[in-house]
Amino acid sequence: MIHIYKKNTEVLSLNQDVVNVDKLPATVDKQRLQKLKPEEGLWVLEQQQDSASSGLRYYRKLYTDTYSKELGFLISSYNSMIARIDELTNTVHKVELMKKEADFKMLQAQINPHFLYNTLETMRMHAEQNDDPDVAEMACSLGKLLRYSLSKSENETSLLSEIEHVEHYTAIHKVRMGSRLEVVWDISEDVASRLSTFRCPRFIVQPMVENSIQHGISKKRRKGMITISVEDTTEEVVLTIADNGVGIPPERLEIITKVLNGSLAPEDIPFTGGIGLYNVNERIKAFYGNPFGISMTSVDGEGAQCIIRLGKQM
């Protein structure tokens, strides 16, 4: 902090309070203060920085012809400004330390993706040699999932790549769940031949399929079925993920619908699981525009449908 006093008026600002200069020896260590060249106006005393300070030295000189209240206000305002500068400097320093710590932790956790790919390929080959087709298929699908997920490409992809990603994802679940899960693909050859021409955001279909498995299929004992269809209309591409799971209770479906249409903020969702739908919906709208996005329908106890409407961006 800068300490200021006016010559001949014996006024000193110490910790933003105006006190008599006679109290200076009792309140301030003179060895830590440096008196600058005197002027007819104000003198400025600079307090030396502690060894643990940021290293910045505030070095200022003020002039004024005012007295009493005006002088006190000037001194207090000036010291407040310097204190604020010091506070902001410390904040920036803390943020820089936090960033360096985060970068270091990320570096510690980083694994070369090629190491993972090669390991999974080795597992697949060993599984095939040991006549274990299920493990071989899981290793192959997981490797392709990782390649897609860890890819450093842009945030958009072709609809074909997005569908293939879901195929690998469901292949792993089919091995894990066995006869309790069946996945049906309803895509005509004509539509399939054009999937590579449609552009879409990454990771918009797989989270919806994951919701069907986690919140629908896995909660009932009988065989679960997920049907994934793609329809190409004049103005849009429509994907439907339908399951025969436990469905969505009406009151819960009403809240989900309000979140998707924007009449309810996502932070006001009284249960877990709606944030993922909201995020995918917002990314679709940001990519294609407001008319497109996600809608949900359900019959409680019988299953649910997630309808994804995409623009025909090529």
Query: What tens digit of pLDDT does each residue of 239-257 get?
Result: 999 999 999 999 999 999 9
For residue 56, pLDDT beyond 60:
no
Structural domains of the chain, with CATH = 2-109 (no CATH), 173-311 (3.30.565.10)
> Is 25 or 108 the better-scoring residue by pLDDT?
108
pTM: 0.63
Mean local confidence (pLDDT), 266-275: 78
CB-based burial of residue 270 (10 Å sphere; 0-12 exposed, 13-18 middle, 19+ buried)? exposed
How many Å apart are CA 241 and CA 220, to the nearest integer? 18
For residue 41, pLDDT beyond 60:
no
Confidence bin at 69 (pLDDT 50/70/90): low
For residue 149, pLDDT beyond 90:
no
Distances (CA, A) of 93 to 82, 83, 103: 17, 15, 15
Query: What tens digit of pLDDT does each residue of 151-177 get?
Result: 766 789 999 999 999 999 999 999 999
> Is 90 or 258 the better-scoring residue by pLDDT?
258
Confidence bin at 61 (pLDDT 50/70/90): very low
Phi and psi at residue 242, to the nearest 5°: -115, 140
For residue 188, pLDDT beyond 90:
yes
Q: Given the structure tokens 């249960």, which residue do they identify?
A: 271
**What is the model's pLDDT at position 70?**
58
> Is 25 or 236 the better-scoring residue by pLDDT?
236
How many Å apart are CA 123 and CA 100, to the nearest integer? 37
Distances (CA, A) of 183 to 72, 79, 138, 210: 79, 70, 16, 12
Tokens for 234? 């004049």
For residue 228, pLDDT beyond 90:
yes
Pairing of strands 181-186, 224-232: parallel
Half-sphere exposure (Cβ direction) of 68: Cα atoms closer than 13 Å: 1
How many Å apart are CA 79 and CA 176, to the nearest integer? 67
Tokens for 39? 């002027």
CB-CB contact of 156 with 199 (8 Å): yes
Enter the DSSP assignment of 215.
I
Mean local confidence (pLDDT), 212-236: 93
CB-CB contact of 171 with 185 (8 Å): no
3-state secondary structure of 268: helix
Confidence bin at 226 (pLDDT 50/70/90): very high
Cα–Cα–Cα angle for 145, 150, 154, rounded to 5 degrees: 110
How many Å apart are CA 11 and CA 132, to the nearest integer? 89
